[in-house]
Structure 1
Amino acid sequence: MTGRYCSLAQQSAPAFTPGLTAERLGALIAGRAMWVNGTVLHYYFFDGDEDGSVISVPGTGQSRRVSWVGAKEQRDVVRECFREWQDLGIGVSFVEVGDRSEAELRIGFQLGDGSWSTVGKDCLLAGQQERTMNFGWDLTLPGERGTALHEIGHALGMLHEHQSPFAGIHWDDEAVYADLAGPPNFWSRDTTFFNILRKLDPSEVNGSVWDPQSIMEYPFPGGLILEPEQFRAGLNPPGTLSPADKEFALRWYPPADAPRLPALEPFRSVPLRLAPGEQADFVIDPPETREYTLGTFGANDSVLVLFEERDDVPRYVAGRDDGGEPHNATMKARLVKGRRYYVRVRLYSAWGPGETAVMCW
């Protein structure tokens, strides 16, 4: 029998401007959900009586609230797994907060609702009263710690490994549908297709080869995989971070150095000499309190993100993604004299003559 699986919510495919080159489109797909390096992700555990889902009670015409609050033992497993990802030395860090309004990641423990997470920056689309991650079963049971590592992998922007087009998996489709329709998952055919049978675009996957040992790989019992032949009897990843998982995380989020960042001064553009996937970081010390405009220039697709330093920690303020659009990333923000801000620009791709640049004014 199949084990309990992470169930990602179905999302509409991102719409890009028609006519993009294959190279430009591939860069956009690959980086769409990824954070800019140096981001501090704040996570929050729901903890109040009012925190939960309202569900109907069959046959009664009534409803009841199901709690999102997890026991300390459950929260501690998740905390340990955040630390394990952090201890790789990646350039994204995790900080627990007690105020949900400060959290990008909001975590619930609704039993029976499955385990799932939004993927990367998609969490920013969720309201402050909504979960961006849920754990639907006991994480302290043997072998279940990997569930928390897996969902945090999604929060970092990683997708399911068995959906890689490089895996070469030939499924017994009907056997998969039948197996997932039963306990403990009770999935619809649409959910099963989206989370298992659907192949990802080559630009979306976590690497250029399939990693059956990945923390993002599901275990499967025998009888579901027809090819490769060695997995007909089942696929059983160890539930730990594989070498390829670590390499992928460090490639996207290399260790953040602490050099003196260049200043981004009003009305002075700074050239960006970046290769696809590279990032430039700047500091802003506003000379006066007012509304400023920040933007990139030139023929490029990029992500522009503004942070404010609070208690020595950069807090997300706003971001713009111009990926695939004919215009550049531009945003307005009120900056306060005496406070420090950081601007991070990550390039998807650049093309055509001339240089790209960033400026505030």
Structure 2
Amino acid sequence: MTRRLCSLPRQPAPSFGPGLTAERLGALLAGRRMWVNGTVLHYCFLDADSDASVIPVPGTGELRRVPWAGGKEQRDVVRECFAQWEALGVGIVFTEVGDRGEAELRIGFQAGGGSWSAVGREALAVGRAERTMNLGWDVTAQGERGTVLHEIGHALGLVHEHQNPSAGLHWDDEAVYAELAGPPNHWSRETTDTNVLRALDAGESRGAVWDPCSVMALPFGPGLVLEPERYRGGLRPAGTPSDLDREFVLRWYPPAGGCGPKPLVPFRSAPLALGPGEQADFRVEPPETRDYTVGTFGDADTVLVVFEEREGEPRFLAGHDDGGTPDNAAVRVRLVRGRRYVVRVRLYSTWGSGQTAVMCW
């Protein structure tokens, strides 16, 4: 029996400037979807009367309206799955909110719309009235909890593990097309290419070791994989985060240290002694209310994000990713005296002298 599978929409290939070294390009590919550590990801469920898709009724020429709302049991499974990821000890916090304007992750349950999610920071490019995740079948059914865990993995920035080039999977392409063109998936060849047959760039995947037990690997029945021989009988991941999944997410999102962010005093630069993928956090307590520039210096690709603390929780204020460009990450923001702000800088890679710094002025 063929299971329903995650159907990520196809995204345009990333565009970087010419002349990048392989090391720099690999670092950009690896980190471009990942959140800065310490981010609070707010999620909401789209259940207003206006939240719906209008789709054609096959063979009739008519249209029907399919709502995005899910029942309490469906929403409870999603809440439990967010908690399961957070319980791994990651430095990302998931918080449910009722206002979609405050939510980076917006979840719908359109029946027949497939299950998919924006991958990591791709969610920020999705319109506030649109979903960043859809769960298109009953996730309360036996064995379907893994679907929710898988889609939340995408929301954290993880990609399909069966597409890891280190897996060395040799598919029977036509058998895969035929299998997934039928029920219950009804995929086009393009969707099958995007989600199964296309091997990811080495920089996009988690590295030289692939994990067939990963929650990010999809299940497949026999007869679809030709080589390696041990997978001819199919791929059957457990449907829950594996040990290597936990190791990977903790590398990107380690738990917060005890010292907290360092002070960043206006007009004083703070050196960044970071390696690829590492992050530095700073706190800013502005001496006066005005517009400030917060930016990095040096030959480096970085992501810089400014958060404002509201009731003890960091809320996104502004951010800039200078990855692959000759510019440095910088934002212009209004900071208010008496409030506290957190600046987080994650490094992709350096070149030239490798000396980097951050300043608020």
What TM-score bracket applies, with the shorter chain setting the length? Answer: over 0.9
Q: Give 1:264's aligned residue.
A: 264
Give 1:60 deviation, angstroms: 5.2
Which TM-score applies when normalising by structure 2?
A: 0.98
Aligned residue number for residue 67 of structure 1: 67
Deviation of 1:354 (Å):
5.7
Corresponding position of 2:77: 77
Match of 1:122 in 2: 122
Alignment of 1:8-157 (within 5 A): 8-58=8-58, 61-157=61-157
Pairing of 1:197-212 with structure 2 (within 5 A) = 197-212=197-212
Give secondary structure in 2 for the equivalent of 1:235: coil
Of the structure 1 ranges 54-63 and 156-165, higher mean CA displacement relative to structure 2 is found in 54-63
Distance 1:188 1:260, change over 3 A: closer
Aligned twin of 2:242: 242
Task: Work out whether residues 261 and 342 of structure 2, in 8 Å CA contact, stay in contact via their aligned partners in 1.
Answer: no
Alpha-carbon distance in 2 for matches of 1:266, 1:257: 24
Structure 2 residue identity aligned to 1:293 = T
TM-score normalized by structure 1? 0.98
More off after superposition, 78-87 vs 331-340? 331-340
What are the Cα deviations for residues 178-230 of structure 1, in whole angstroms up to 9, with x where unaligned?
11100000000001001000010111112321111100011111110001111
Give the Å deviation of 1:319.
1.0
How many angstroms apart in 2 are the aligned matches of 1:237 and 1:44? 28
1:359 corresponds to 2:338: no
Deviations 1:132-175 (A, max 9, x none): 00000001111100000000000010000110100011100000
**Identity within the alignment, %:** 68
Measure how far apart 1:232 and its partner are: 0.9
Q: Distance in 2 between matches of 1:214 and 1:92?
A: 20
For 2:245, give the aligned amino acid.
Answer: D
**Cα displacement string for residues 64-109 of structure 1 (whole angstroms, at most 9, x for unaligned residues):** 3211111010011110110001001111110000100000000000
Name structure 1 gaps, 5 residues minimum.
Answer: none
- Mapped to 1, the partners of 2:262 and 2:182 lie a distance apart of 57
Q: Secondary structure at the match of 2:66?
A: strand
1:59 Cα deviation from its structure 2 partner: 5.4
Q: Name the SS for the 1:176 alignment partner.
A: helix
Match of 1:41, SS state, is strand
Aligned equivalents of 1:243, 1:355: Cα separation in 2: 35
Q: Which runs of 5+ in 2 are unaligned?
A: none
Deviation at 1:352, TM superposition (A): 1.2
Q: CA deviation at 1:240?
A: 1.2
Q: Is the 8 A contact 1:280 1:344 kept in 2?
A: yes
1:61 is displaced (CA, Å) by: 4.9
Q: Confirm or deny: 8 A CA contact 1:207 1:248 kept in the other structure.
A: no
Within 2, Cα distance between the matches of 1:176 and 1:299? 45
For the 8 Å contact 2:81–2:149, the answer to whether it is kept is yes
